[in-house]
């Protein structure tokens, strides 16, 4: 792994339709190969895919189980080779094998040198689709360091809760990368919640969504795009529309330092908040 500290980091958010059911991972790998070539030509250090970009997301419990792999399995090995070939790190989602239980909805970061740096299992499962296909993760997301940047991972619905991003910020994350498969009905996630997570924690957030229609196991699912890179004051540094695109932008440590001069984090009073974790009343639901 490269331990050189860099003041800037070039990110590519790959907004793409999800593969057709039954095709396996090979078409997705071919599309990823082309996206990495494009990202490399534009100077990107990391490429972030949508949630389950290589296997499909709403594929049903049986197919999710059949396509599940270990974190170091053939899919990871293939992506490692692609990352090394193009010199671009990859953050990608996949169904991770979980014994006889439903697989985890996982995301993994593989460095441009081919090393696996971080693995996270989605802890906040979204609705009937996630509940039918996946087991919830039981651990907080990791923070890993590369090129002097501390990077955290979340998956889709996780970013709609303030606590996971806040936890990453308190553990020193500079940047949170979020593969997602958010439906067209919920544009407020990219337009409001992602900027809020960035601003309230004074970090960058890269949110890579799918677009187009997926012929899901039960019904078609339409994804809304709007892949977004937000700066540490909540500003949209780059945002896609609803069509396939590779969104490339460079983030700067100097912008991070400037934003953190006005961070609220040092004024937190965690002793007052402890009871929040014990409450289960959900009176607003």
Which domain range does residue 251 map to?
9-278
In this predicted model, what pLDDT tens digit does every residue of 173-211 receive, in sequence order?
999 999 999 999 999 999 999 999 999 999 999 999 999
Residue 285 placed within a domain? no
Residue 81 placed within a domain? yes
By CB atoms closer than 10 A (0-12, 13-18, 19+), residue 94 is: buried
pTM: 0.94
Has residue 21 got a pLDDT over 80? no
Residue 150 placed within a domain? yes
Distance CA 209, CA 14 (A): 8
By CB atoms closer than 10 A (0-12, 13-18, 19+), residue 186 is: middle
CA-closest candidate to residue 159, choices 136, 192, 110: 192
Residue 2 placed within a domain? no
Q: What is the mean pLDDT of residues 148-169?
A: 97
| CB 145 within 8 Å of CB 170 | no
Please count the structural domains in the chain: 1
Residue 284 placed within a domain? no
- Please give the structure tokens belonging to residue 185: 């009905």
Q: Which residues are marked as active site? A: 51, 122, 156
Q: What is the mean pLDDT of residues 217-235?
A: 93
pLDDT of residue 51: 97
What CATH number corresponds to the domain at position 153?
3.60.110.10
Q: Which range is least confidently modeled, 15-24, 45-54, 60-69, 236-245?
A: 15-24
């Amino acid at each position: 792994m490269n331990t050189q500290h860099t003041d800037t980091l070039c990110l590519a958010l790959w907004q793409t339709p999800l593969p057709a059911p039954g095709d396996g991972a090979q078409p997705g790998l071919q599309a990823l190969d082309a996206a990495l070539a494009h990202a490399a030509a534009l100077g990107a250090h990391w490429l972030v895919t949508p949630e389950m970009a290589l296997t499909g997301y709403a594929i049903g419990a049986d197919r999710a189980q059949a396509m599940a792999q270990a974190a170091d399995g053939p899919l990871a090995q293939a992506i490692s080779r692609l990352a090394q070939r193009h010199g671009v790190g990859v953050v990608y989602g996949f169904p991770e094998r979980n014994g006889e239980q439903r697989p985890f909805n996982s995301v993994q970061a593989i460095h441009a040198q081919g090393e696996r740096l971080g693995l996270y299992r989605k802890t906040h499962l979204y609705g009937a689709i996630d509940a039918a296909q996946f087991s919830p993760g039981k651990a907080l997301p990791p923070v890993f360091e590369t090129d002097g940047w501390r990077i955290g991972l979340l998956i889709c619905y996780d970013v709609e809760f303030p606590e996971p991003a806040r936890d990453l910020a308190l553990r020193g994350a500079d940047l949170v990368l979020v593969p997602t498969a958010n439906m067209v009905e919920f544009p407020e996630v990219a337009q409001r919640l992602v900027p809020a997570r960035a601003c309230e924690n004074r970090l960058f957030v890269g949110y890579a969504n799918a677009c187009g229609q997926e012929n899901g196991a039960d019904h078609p699912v339409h994804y809304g795009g709007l892949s977004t890179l937000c700066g540490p004051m909540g500003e949209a540094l780059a945002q896609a529309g609803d069509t396939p695109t590779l969104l490339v932008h460079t983030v700067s440590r100097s912008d991070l330092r400037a934003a953190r001069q006005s961070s609220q984090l040092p004024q937190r009073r965690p002793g007052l908040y402890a009871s929040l974790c014990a409450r289960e009343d959900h009176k607003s639901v």
